[in-house]
Amino acid sequence: MSDPIYHLPQERRLVTELPGPKSKELAARRDAVVAKGVSSSSPFYVTEADGGVLVDADGNSVIDLGAGIAVTSVGASAPKVVANVQEAVARFTHSSFATTPYQGYVDVCERLAELTPGSFAKKSVLVNSGAEAVENAVKIARHATGRAAVAVAENAFHGRTNLTMALTSKAMPYKAGFGPFAPEIYHFPSSYPFREPAPITGEQAAQRAISYLETTVGADKLACLLQEPIQGEGGFIVPAEGYLPTLQAWCREHGIVFILDEIQCGFCRSGKWFASEYDGVEPDLITTAKALGGGLPLAAVTGRAEIVDSAQTGGLGGTYGGNPVSCAASLGAIDTMKEWDLPARARAIEAAIRAKVQPLVGTGSVGDLRGRGAMMAVEFVNPGTKDPDPAKAGQVASTLLEQGVIALTCGIYGSCIRFLPALTIPAGLLDEALDLFVEAAGN
């Protein structure tokens, strides 16, 4: 394993008040022309980013624990990604795989077939965003089974398009006022160990889901069952051991396509190439995006060849899906993940987070620390209870922002702070951010 190469100094260096005058000026211009529905959780206008830092328009170098929502796992300007993009963009920006195909698309599908869980023959379709990948997975499952109903876990996040809004649990801000939603979607009770009224096993949690689906929908009506192996926006919820294998076995028994959404937790983030590997499950279809594209928009549905191939030619795709520059970036990102052994780096990040944050759990308002690899979150509660405390999470995030650390909130109740850095963040920089977190969370 070789060490990451950085072109920006990996340091927190604040040279103006935060936000600085240039970021403030851009914010004022933005107010006039950018839709209010589009949010930005930090006030820094980025000019450069690399490894664990972002540099803003005023020259402040801040620590980034968000990685563009788990996208820039290799860093935001990893040398191989930059070189591949520069080379590809100078040759051709676009041709549309739907009209005139090119090698990069095929190369990415070969990597997906090789890297995703399952030793069976696999095929992929490339699209532009995570939501589009999830939509296509559902389309494929419906086509392959001739069934309509979709089972989806509670606390899920799958996107902001019409179908994926219906699949997403949280009303504010994702759904409120944007209905009506797509029909034939059934949200089943999932596994959220911290919030079980009494401890139950993963098998019991899965049986609860199965019994709900059998009584309210019927197994023979279900095209697919969809779940994130670690729920992301829902609060970095790791289901209890045995939960996913039990659901997978039930899906196999009833011809239900088992879909795992690894858009946030996939491609080394969890400390393995795919989070499914922790549970020993092999989804029929897997959706990937975010880190797959190395920072450029790229997403995929990958799965059993016979299921993916059920859709008629011309039924899948789009103008931009698998753009050649995005494919070049993806190949650079995947090479980098291997060369810098990013699964091992993700596991080291988990160890560093546990070392600093675990002692706080159960004290004050720190209720839980959970997750895997470089996908860890703290859930805040009212002290002495399990009542979620979103105000505390928001306050900790703002305190960190004021000090030049970007940390994102998440959770079905908005009560979590998540640690989601680039997997290339240097250990010392991560420790500095964690010390500031501990100070902010502890009081």
Give me the residues that bind ligand PLZ (CB under 6 A), please. Answer: 69, 129-131, 134, 157-160, 228, 232-233, 261, 263-264, 289
Q: Is 242 exposed, middle or buried (0-12, 13-18, 19+ CB in 10 A)?
A: middle
- Smallest distance from ligand PLZ to CB 10, Å: 25
Return the structure tokens found at 368: 């839980």
Q: How far is the CB of 181 from ligand PLZ (least distance, A)?
A: 16
| Strand pairing category for 257-261 and 222-227 | parallel
Residues paired with 303 in a beta bridge = 123, 285
Question: Within a 10 A sphere around the Cβ of 130, how many other Cβ atoms?
Answer: 29
Q: Which is nearer to ligand PLZ, 205 or 408 (CB)?
A: 408
Structural contact between residues 128 and 297, judged by C-beta atoms closer than 8 angstroms: yes
Cα angle 112, 117, 123; round to 5: 40
> Taking the complex as a whole, how short is the minimal distance between the CB of residue 230 and ligand PLZ, in angstroms?
9
Q: Tell me the closest approach of the beta carbon of residue 15 to ligand PLZ, in angstroms.
A: 30
Question: Cβ distance 268 to 421 under 8 Å?
Answer: no
Q: What is the DSSP letter of 220?
A: G
SS3 assignment, position 193? helix
| Nearest CB to ligand PLZ, comparing residues 134 and 149 | 134
To which residue do tokens 């959220």 refer?
A: 192
Report the residue number, 264 or 336, with the smaller CB distance to ligand PLZ: 264
CB of 168 to ligand PLZ, least distance (A): 8
Nearer to ligand PLZ, 231 or 403 (CB): 231
Q: Which CB, 84 or 129, lies closer to ligand PLZ?
A: 129
CA 92 to chain centre: 30
What single-letter amino acid sits at 276?
S
Our CB check for ligand PLZ shows the closer of 4 and 421 to be: 421
Query: CB within 8 A of 89, min separation 6: which ones?
Result: 325, 328
CB 418 within 8 A of CB 375: yes
DSSP assignments along 126-189, one per residue: EESSHHHHHHHHHHHHHHHH---EEEEETT----SSHHHHHH----TTTTTTS-PPPSSEEEEP
- Burial code of 361-371, b = ≥16 C-beta within 10 A, e = fewer? eeeebbbbbbb
**Nearer residue to ligand PLZ within complex by CB, 271 or 426:** 271
CB of 112 to ligand PLZ, least distance (A): 16
Minimum CB–partner distance for residue 157 and ligand PLZ (Å): 5
Q: Which is nearer to ligand PLZ, 157 or 267 (CB)?
A: 157
Q: Which residue is nearest to ligand PLZ (CB)?
A: 130
